[in-house]
A and B are shown apart, each in its own frame.
Chain A
């Protein structure tokens, strides 16, 4: 098990990305330890009057020169709403890096992986896309959202690698869900593997296609959790070995064939 830390970071930037999503950049007081694409942090909330458990948030980006972590957060409830009000200079405690990231070894996922993100689920894919590109692979990215305004970071992804988008209202890219895109239709066989993070129905649909087409697929789950370190056992998902498995320590990334959908 990798070493995990509890550290007070300071907020160096916070800004809104859409009506419901925002980005926080957090600076480590010293040298940022290594974090891997797909790992997450447990963010302590600034005020615990109403919501008091930590919030598990994917690591969107890590800058080891500036010693910063970037988080993309959707205001899903009171806790993430509360966190959206932190100011530059505020201190935010993180437990990190938690969980196992994506398996990005090329012998496992091949040279032509497809990275699919839905909504704020695009967050952990950014580091993965950069890492794959740096390793010499040719990743393609498919981002889906309800409309163009909710399509986060599409230009940042496009700056790394070939990026396609779908929107439910056709305001940008292909109309429909990510599963309606040609990548997931006739062209799916050009991909050596799929990595997906997004809403459960989306991941379930993609896992189904991947299984039917016999393409290795990694999914990143986001179950509700209290501790994030394997103690409370609240975040379990049922796996095909018949057990309830902790998403925080055994995931959040799973082989889609190991998850009981």
Chain B
């Protein structure tokens, strides 16, 4: 038996390094029929904002080669609805860690939302989304400037004592600078990457496929770029790094861990195979055994240069 347990610090211990990415796994409940949700290391639930958001107009989806572009725009019913109506349903998950992805359009909103989630005993961490490309105000604009990133993380840190993951956008010249700013401002860990700003055009109508013209690209096609960024950040910060971006197999996940990720998130691949998370857990365990490793920590950052 290998030990897959991952301690990300500040009381966030995962039974294994595999989590599901926000916006691709609903609240976990949507997947109960298809996979043992509680067996995953963690589930990061849909992006939650202080107030209800209707999101963007349809169409919100463009399929690309080995990828997809979405323009959902953080549709959710707001944090109070989450606390009252959804949180109680999540108490049945006793082994996996339920993490809330928190987003906002101004610092005050992030803070107010994080404060409400802090009061929920069963939520050991939040993932602060300073990287959504699909909202007009806030979102990615906090994540593209180190000063802004530092300010929002610092403000949330003051009201949120539990584990604080900061989710980074790849749509910057130097993701390392943003990661360092988040670290300095008190983040317990960083996760990257969110989606790549992109677009698709319908050549029959010569119109954009998405209602918002541009959207965020995810899926297997982005994996090599995400991997490079995770490797760069893992070498630049002392806090744990959670890697994501196009992970679609155990092999992909193992690459991220070798590059320095302590944990990984699976996103778009959940849409194709709702059981992929648990298959990746098993695949990582099998790889460790085959390579005579007893603990996942032996693999982490083991890249040979």
Contact = CB atoms under 8 A, between A and B. Distances in A.
Interface of A: 3-6, 44, 48-54, 79, 95, 223-238, 242-244
A226 B271 contact: yes
Contact of A229 (B30, B66, B70): B30
B65 interface: yes
B148 interface: no
B81 interface: no
B283 interface: no
Given A95-B274, A232-B24, 7 more contacts: A48-B272, A53-B68, A54-B271, A225-B61, A232-B271, A233-B55, A235-B61
A254 to B, nearest CB: 14
A147 B65 CA distance: 34
9 contacts: A3-B33, A4-B34, A5-B33, A52-B66, A232-B61, A233-B75, A234-B61, A236-B55, A244-B55
B33 A244 contact: no
Contacts of A53: 63, 68, 271-272
B70 A95 contact: no
- The 10 A-B residue pairs with the shortest CB-CB distance, nearest first, are A231-B26, A234-B61, A4-B33, A227-B271, A226-B271, A234-B60, A231-B30, A233-B72, A224-B61, A230-B30
B68 A238 contact: no
Contacts of B58: 223, 235-238, 244
Given A233-B55, A236-B75, A237-B58, A227 B270 contact: yes
A233 B30 contact: no
B88 interface: no
Contact of B24 (A50, A225, A231): A231
- What range describes how many residues of B lie at the interface? 20 to 34
Interface in B253-303: 268, 270-275
B34 A6 contact: yes
Interface in B201-237: 219-220
A44 B34 CA distance: 14
A224 to B, nearest CB: 5
Given A226-B61, A229-B31, A52 B220 contact: yes
B23 A232 contact: yes
Nearest to A226: B271
B59 A224 contact: yes
A164 B75 CA distance: 42
A242 B274 CA distance: 31
A226 to B, nearest CB: 5
A51 B63 contact: yes
A50 B64 CA distance: 7
Contacts of A44: 272-273
B125 to A, nearest CB: 20
Contacts of B46: 231, 233
A234 B270 CA distance: 14
B57 to A, nearest CB: 7
A230 B24 CA distance: 10
A50 B65 CA distance: 5
B251 interface: no
Contacts of A6: 33-34, 274-275
Contacts of A52: 63, 66-67, 219-220, 272
Nearest to A2: B33
Nearest to A44: B272
Given A53-B63, A234-B60, A226 B274 contact: no
A182 to B, nearest CB: 34
A93 to B, nearest CB: 8
B222 to A, nearest CB: 13
A229 B275 CA distance: 13
Interface string B230-249: 00000000000000000000
Contacts of B271: 53-54, 226-228, 231-232
Interface string B4-42: 000000000000000000011110001101100000000
A244 B72 CA distance: 10
B19 to A, nearest CB: 15
B43 to A, nearest CB: 11
A200 B290 CA distance: 54
A229 to B, nearest CB: 5
A242 B61 CA distance: 21
B54 interface: yes
Contacts of B33: 3-6
B100 to A, nearest CB: 15
Contacts of B273: 44
